[in-house]
């Protein structure tokens, strides 16, 4: 594994910082090797067993992730804030054989693990002797990440070691990562943005990655003022929230922040469309033009504004090194220049398959092996601009991809809801806001419904606005017209 080889080269350097505690690459190598032995017990290779882990961001997270890989397992990161049914879905779908947890999450999964005969261990588990570690093949699955699609339930995206290495190497080359870099991870660690772009790239480059436990504009700015961090990556909502917080600060603090931010080498934004207004405001705050890029769980990053050269507002840039991109019509034929088409992607960065779903996997590729992203773009003066998605049922809110169909299915289980239609409406802060039009029985109470949903799915999938309608807008075939649903809210 290239990550391990690179860590050996940078052994004495600081890899990870959490508060006042620092860990070197040597400590990461030793910690992950020891933890591999805990996972292996008496076996000599996990041979693709799925190992789920619910671990706080920081040294332990990377230690466990590397330990799973070094022991021959497939890492399945769990979201720290998902309610039990969402965690259970992932554990069942992957048939995880071991669950690793930070001690404070043990109580959430203990009963489930024991009922289902799954080994549950904490990050503090240790072993007296190190086992010999297996040789890892680049084509072996390494990671399964869950992403919502046009089907109602999230699908597991299987990425091999080769996929991950290609994704990281492409970004290291394009964005000029080096061992001198120092980044801050504020993103959730069950998605590609945090896992690959922030942790993966910084670790493979021999750089330093600093962690805070959860998003806090105040903490982020306090760290920026310490003048260590020089690379930062986030979703548009985070930049929006940072700007909002900045606006509450006094002039002296704003000036100090400008001075610190001006020294950064790179600030990247992605996972959802970056509004031009956010880009412009951030430029005033920091003196930097944000580098916007486009990616997806299935492909890592594919298109990026240039590191050197023009970063064009409203555009996602040009294909990354070693990534092929095409725009096609509905028959998958290349479209004439200047017209809109679906983005197709090819390269070693593209995932292997959807876990346990050969039919769905086949459907998402053309007969000659191009991955169909479902995103529609236009190419103008050589730069790509995302203009929309081919499905109205996919919502992007706060950088999270959300399936409207999944929320509808949950809502329809409530006795107060006869029928419903969920959609995303534009929102300055969240990109899109989840809303629901409902045909309801008497007594319908949105706040009680939301409480009920949060026991079943994460807060970001909970509708933020409801509209009780007599009947949902339908076409002549009786199908709900989502664009008309959206109009109801505007
Ligand atoms: C949370 N809230 C929302 C919301 N999410 N409201 C509207 N829309 C949403 N999407 C509300 C909650 O209900 C709660 O309200 C309040 O905000 C605080 O919730 P929270 O969960 O504590 O929010 P916060 O910590 O502030 O999180 C905001 C965030 C987070 C932007 C930091 O959403 C985040 O980390 N997003 C990044 C996701 C990401 O990494 N995506 C990349 C996917 S990979 P109340 O009323 O209950 O207090 C990918 C590929 C690629 O996309 O290209 O990168
Ligand atoms: P996910 O499945 O969570 O990985 O989300 C991937 C989706 O996020 C893509 O298919 C796009 O729709 C969207 N996306 C990512 N980056 C951008 C961007 N810079 N602009 C617009 N949409 C983006």
Specify whether the CB–CB gap between 290 and 274 falls below 8 A: yes
Whole-number Å distance, alpha carbon 396 to ligand 2 midpoint, is 8
Q: Is the CB of 398 under 6 A from ligand 2?
A: no
- Quick one: which atom of ligand 1 is closest to the CA of 192? 44
Long-range contacts of 3-10 (CB under 8 A, 24+ apart): 3/66, 3/69, 3/200, 3/203, 3/204, 4/29, 4/66, 4/70, 6/203, 6/204, 6/205, 6/206, 7/203, 7/206, 9/206, 10/179, 10/206
Q: Is the CB of 194 under 6 A from ligand 1?
A: yes
Residue carrying structure tokens 């950064």: 264
Q: Is the CB of 401 under 6 A from ligand 2?
A: yes
pTM recorded for the entire structure: 0.97
Q: Is the CB of 295 under 6 A from ligand 2?
A: yes
Ligand closest to Cα of 295 equals: 1
At residue 149 the predicted structure's pLDDT band, cuts being 50, 70 and 90, is confident
Whole-number Å distance, alpha carbon 420 to ligand 2 midpoint, is 26
Q: For residue 399, what pLDDT is reported?
A: 97
CA 455 – CA 83 distance, rounded (Å): 6
Nearest to 183 by CA among 57, 70, 329: 57
CA 68 – CA 325 distance, rounded (Å): 33
Query: Cα dihedral sign for 93, 97, 102, 108?
Result: positive
State how beta strands 14-18 and 318-319 pair. unpaired
At residue 119 the predicted structure's pLDDT band, cuts being 50, 70 and 90, is very high
Q: Is the CB of 236 under 6 A from ligand 2?
A: no
Query: For the ranges 245-254, 272-281, 450-459, which has the lowest average pLDDT?
Result: 450-459
Ligand closest to Cα of 396 equals: 2
Q: For residue 153, what pLDDT is reported?
A: 87
Nearest protein CA to atom 6 of ligand 2, as residue:
296
Tokens of 340: 């809109």
CA 335 – CA 338 distance, rounded (Å): 8
Average pLDDT over residues 254-263: 98
Average pLDDT over residues 387-399: 93
Q: For residue 150, what pLDDT is reported?
A: 73
Long-range contacts of 319-327 (CB under 8 A, 24+ apart): 320/170, 320/171, 320/174, 320/293, 320/349, 321/170, 321/173, 321/174, 322/166, 322/169, 322/170, 322/347, 322/348, 322/349, 323/170, 323/299, 323/347, 323/349, 325/384, 326/370, 327/377, 327/378, 327/379, 327/384
Q: What is the pLDDT of residues 197-250, one digit of tens each?
A: 999 999 999 999 999 988 999 999 999 999 999 999 999 999 999 999 999 999
Whole-number Å distance, alpha carbon 34 to ligand 1 midpoint, is 34
Question: What does the mean pLDDT of the chain come to?
Answer: 96
Q: Is the CB of 424 under 6 A from ligand 1?
A: no
Q: What is the pLDDT of residues 26-41, one digit of tens each?
A: 999 999 999 999 999 9
Whole-number Å distance, alpha carbon 189 to ligand 1 midpoint, is 13
Q: How many CB atoms lie within 10 A of CB 115?
A: 8
Q: For residue 350, what pLDDT is reported?
A: 98
CA 460 – CA 422 distance, rounded (Å): 13
Whole-number Å distance, alpha carbon 477 to ligand 1 midpoint, is 36
Please give the sequence-ordered ranges of beta strands (E in DSSP) within 6-152, or none if there are none: 14-18, 21-24, 50-54, 74-77, 98-101, 119-122, 141-147
Whole-number Å distance, alpha carbon 121 to ligand 1 midpoint, is 29
Q: What is the pLDDT of residues 75-102, one digit of tens each?
A: 999 999 999 999 999 999 999 999 999 9
Is residue 488 over pLDDT 90? yes
Backbone angles phi, psi at 436, to 5 degrees: -140, 130
Q: Bridge partners of 146?
A: 156
Average pLDDT over residues 265-271: 98
CA 125 – CA 116 distance, rounded (Å): 21
Q: What is the pLDDT of residues 318-370, one digit of tens each?
A: 999 999 999 999 999 999 989 999 999 999 999 999 999 999 999 999 999 99
Q: For residue 337, what pLDDT is reported?
A: 86
Ligand closest to Cα of 377 equals: 2
Specify whether the CB–CB gap between 287 and 257 falls below 8 A: no
Is residue 152 over pLDDT 90? no
Q: Which residue has the higher pLDDT, 152 or 121?
A: 121
Q: Is the CB of 342 under 6 A from ligand 2?
A: no
Is residue 16 over pLDDT 80? yes
Is residue 59 over pLDDT 80? yes
At residue 490 the predicted structure's pLDDT band, cuts being 50, 70 and 90, is confident
């Amino acid at each position: 594994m290239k990550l391990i080889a690179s860590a050996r080269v940078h052994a004495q350097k600081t890899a990870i910082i959490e508060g006042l505690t620092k860990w070197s690459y040597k400590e990461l190598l030793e910690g992950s090797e020891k933890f591999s032995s805990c996972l292996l017990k008496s076996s000599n290779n996990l041979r693709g067993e799925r190992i789920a882990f619910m671990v706080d961001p920081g040294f332990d997270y990377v230690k466990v992730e590397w330990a799973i890989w070094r022991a021959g397992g497939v890492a399945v990161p769990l979201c720290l804030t998902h309610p039990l049914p969402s965690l259970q879905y992932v554990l069942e779908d992957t048939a995880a054989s071991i669950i690793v947890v930070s001690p404070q999450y043990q109580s959430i999964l203990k009963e489930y693990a024991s009922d289902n005969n799954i080994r549950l261990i904490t990050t503090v588990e240790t072993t007296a002797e190190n086992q010999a570690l297996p040789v890892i093949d680049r084509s072996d699955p390494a990671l399964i990440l869950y992403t919502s699609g046009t089907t109602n339930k999230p699908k597991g995206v299987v990425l091999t070691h080769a996929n991950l290495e290609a994704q990281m190497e492409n970004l290291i080359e394009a964005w000029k990562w080096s061992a001198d870099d120092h980044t801050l991870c504020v993103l959730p660690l069950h998605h590609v943005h945090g896992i690959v772009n922030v942790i993966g790239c910084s670790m493979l480059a021999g750089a330093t990655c600093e962690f805070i436990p959860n998003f806090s504009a105040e903490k982020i700015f306090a760290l920026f003022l310490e003048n260590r961090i020089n690379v930062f990556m986030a979703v548009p909502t985070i930049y929006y929230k940072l700007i909002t917080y900045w606006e509450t600060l006094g002039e002296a603090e704003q000036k100090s922040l400008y001075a610190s931010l001006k020294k950064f080498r790179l600030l990247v934004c992605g996972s959802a469309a970056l509004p031009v207004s956010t880009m412009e405001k951030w430029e005033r705050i920091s003196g930097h033009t944000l580098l916007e890029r486009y990616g997806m769980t299935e492909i890592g990053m594919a298109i990026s504004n240039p590191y050197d050269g023009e970063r064009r507002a409203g555009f996602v840039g040009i294909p990354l090194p070693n990534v092929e991109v095409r725009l096609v019509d509905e028959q998958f034929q290349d479209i004439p220049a200047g017209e809109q088409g679906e983005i197709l992607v090819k390269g070693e960065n593209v995932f292997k398959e959807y876990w346990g779903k050969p039919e769905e996997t086949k459907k998402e590729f053309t007969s000659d092996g191009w991955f169909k992203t479902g995103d529609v773009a236009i190419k103008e003066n050589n730069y790509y601009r995302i203009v929309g998605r081919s499905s109205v049922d996919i919502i992007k809110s706060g950088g999270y991809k959300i399936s409207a169909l999944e929320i509808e299915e949950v809502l329809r289980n409530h006795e107060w809801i006869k029928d419903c239609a969920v959609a995303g409406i534009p929102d300055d802060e969240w990109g899109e806001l989840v809303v629901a039009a409902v045909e309801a029985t008497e007594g319908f109470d949105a706040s009680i419904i939301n409480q009920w949903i949060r026991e079943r799915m994460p807060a970001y999938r909970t509708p933020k606005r409801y509209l009780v309608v007599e009947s949902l807008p339908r076409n002549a075939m009786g199908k709900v017209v989502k664009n008309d649903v959206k109009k109801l809210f505007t």
